[in-house]
Amino acid sequence: MGKKLYVGNLSYSTTDESLNGAFAAFGTVASARVIMDRETGRSKGFGFVEMSSDDEAQKAVVEMDGRDLDGRNLKVAEAKPMDSGARGGGGPRGPRGGGAARGGW
C-alpha cells in the first residue's frame, strides 16, 4: 500500500484543511489537496492525501472509504501512479498524430 491516497466524491465545500482534519485521526498527514478546476476555481470533486507511513495510509483507507464527509460518502483508495502519456496531447499534431496521412496525397 502506498502512502498517497485518492479521495473521490468530495463535496464542493470540502477544503484542503477539512480534508486534512478528516484524515489526521489515522496518523500524520503529510499533505492534503483538493483538486480545483483552473477555469472555474471550483473543486473537481476529488483530491489526494499523503500519509506519513504505509500503515497509516492503509488504516485511513479502511476507515474512510464510504464514510460521510460534508454530506458525501467518500471513495478512498491507494492513488495510482500517473502514466507518462495520461495527460493526452500527442504532440504538435494532436492526440492522433497524423498530418499528410489524412490528406489525399
Pairing mode of beta strands 75-78, 43-51: unpaired
Q: Which domain holds residue 38?
A: 4-78
Task: Between 100 and 13, name the one with better pLDDT.
Answer: 13
pTM of the model: 0.77
Q: Is residue 103 assigned to a domain? A: no
Q: Quote the CA–CA distance of 4 and 81 in Å, as a whole number.
A: 9
Percentage of the chain exceeding pLDDT 70: 77
Is pLDDT above 80 for 100?
no
Q: Is residue 104 assigned to a domain? A: no
Is pLDDT above 90 for 26?
yes
Q: Is residue 16 assigned to a domain? A: yes
Is pLDDT above 90 for 61?
yes
Q: Would you state the cell numbers that stand for residue 91, as one nine-digit string?
A: 504532440
Is pLDDT above 80 for 56?
yes
Q: Is residue 34 assigned to a domain? A: yes
Q: Quote the CA–CA distance of 46 and 32 in Å, as a whole number.
A: 11
Q: Is residue 69 assigned to a domain? A: yes
* Mean pLDDT, the chain, integer: 87
Q: Would you state the cell numbers that stand for residue 24, as one nine-digit string?
A: 489526521
Q: Is residue 89 assigned to a domain? A: no
Q: Is residue 98 assigned to a domain? A: no
